Amino acid sequence: MRHVIRQAAAWQGSGIRCVMATVVRTWGSAPHGPGASMLVTEDGRIVGSVSGGCVEAAVIAAAEEVFAGGPPVVERWGIGDEDAFAVGLTCGGTIEVLIREVTPEMPLGRVSADLADGSPVALVTPLDGGGSLAVGRGAVSGSLGGTAADRVAVLAAEGMLARGESGLVNAGEGAAPDGERPGAGSPAAGTACVPGRELLVQSFAHRPGLLIFGATEFARSLADFGAALGHRVTVCDARPAFADPGRFPGADEVVADRPDRWFRAHEDLIDPTTAVCVLTHDPRFDIPVLTRALRSAAGYVGAMGSRRTHEDRVARLRAAGTTEAQLAVLRSPIGLDLGGRGAAETALSVLAEIVAVRRGGSGLPLSAGTRPIHAR
């Protein structure tokens, strides 16, 4: 989604006409959730996706109508439609997509700039096509047509952005207070005089952190894979010869420091989206940083090593005062059992486990389960 916004801003700045299609609602099994976007230029270039390839041809056809002067439109495609097989969405899901032209007034440059420096930002677009807003840290760009409407949209966007969620908000008259359903993220009381509108909020929260302790060859592949999945990657090793930025092109930062000392200095940045991977195989470094990581807010903590190493590690952690509840968080040996070999396949198994923990996946083959593939 981020690369689509960046490309839209670039084309907007160059005067290239393009249409943006964005998922606003999904039902059943849908490849992408609300906020996923696709761009179509007037000369036929395409960036992004709204369905993984199922309905993109239909989106292009709808974009051509917008280029011809048509208004913004919300289209629905799904298995229940008579033309489901014609457009290809045969997976059992249904999606609604907002299709509108990127206009010079859309504050895409502001959103792209915030993405570049890592600042959380949300793009707000009403389904009726009346303007758009960029809402970030204490700053607002663009407008929905009036002060009252903008105030409602800002409150709605801030609520969604705080949760890292994208989707529709019922804002204005009849909207529920913040935190209630439907319309979670709706503005607080006092805005009922504003006509009710459906607002699409695309949230770009901060990138989840991937902290890799131990600058090994496994760490290089893990850093590359983690960056590809949108993480902000830090590699830390106490050995300066190993903590060489040139060895880790996928990392945002490479630090030569004791892992536990670095962790202690940055503990205020650790949150439930943070994944901690300890790869050093050395108790002198492993135990101090794991002790801190298991007491932190990190949503994933894993450590590499054999089962014998794991048993020794657990005994050392208990001796260091780690509780049984904290030990239950530890993923060790790290990664899912993919039967892989080598650095790249090991990194794949680790990132697969991180995604499963973060998204609530079982880690089992999809063919072995019965629950929806794309669980809400």
Q: What is the pLDDT of residues 360-370, one digit of tens each?
A: 888 888 788 77
Domain residue limits at 244 = 209-359
Tokens 């794309």, residue located: 374
Residue 367 domain-assigned (yes or no): no
d(CA 313, CA 300): 17
Q: Are residues 171 and 230 in the same domain?
A: no
Q: Are residues 214 and 355 in the same domain?
A: yes
Residue 138 domain-assigned (yes or no): yes
Residue 113 domain-assigned (yes or no): yes
Residue 373 domain-assigned (yes or no): no
Q: Which of 187, 204, 221 is the last residue of a domain?
A: 204
pLDDT at residue 188 greater than cutoff 60: no
Q: Which of 61, 86, 101 is the last residue of a domain?
A: 101
Give the pLDDT band of residue 183 (cuts 50, 70, 90).
very low
pLDDT at residue 138 greater than cutoff 80: no
CA dihedral of 341, 342, 344, 349, whole degrees rounded to 10? 40
Give the pLDDT band of residue 373 (cuts 50, 70, 90).
low
Give the pLDDT band of residue 345 (cuts 50, 70, 90).
very high
Question: Quick one: how many helices (H) and strands (E) in the chain?
Answer: 11, 16
Q: Are residues 252 and 169 in the same domain?
A: no
d(CA 168, CA 166): 7
* Distances 313 to 212, 277, 302, 306, 349 between C-alpha atoms, Å: 18, 14, 12, 10, 21
**362, 369 contact by CB (below 8 A):** yes
Please compute, for residue 152, the number of CA atoms within 13 A of its CA located in the half-sphere on the CB side: 31
- Phi, psi (5° rounding) for residue 200? -90, 120
Q: Are residues 40 and 75 in the same domain?
A: yes
Q: What's the mean pLDDT in 185-213?
A: 70
Give the pLDDT band of residue 192 (cuts 50, 70, 90).
very low
By CB atoms closer than 10 A (0-12, 13-18, 19+), residue 60 is: middle
d(CA 143, CA 149): 8
Q: What is the per-residue pLDDT for 167?
A: 86
Q: What is the per-residue pLDDT for 372?
A: 67
Q: Which helix (H) or strand (E) holds 111?
A: helix 108-117
Residue 235 domain-assigned (yes or no): yes
Residue 82 domain-assigned (yes or no): yes
Give the pLDDT band of residue 163 (cuts 50, 70, 90).
confident
Considering its fold, how many domains does the chain have in total?
3
Residue 368 domain-assigned (yes or no): no
Amino acid (1-letter code) at residue 97: V
pLDDT at residue 237 greater than cutoff 50: yes
Give the pLDDT band of residue 191 (cuts 50, 70, 90).
very low
pLDDT at residue 72 greater than cutoff 50: yes
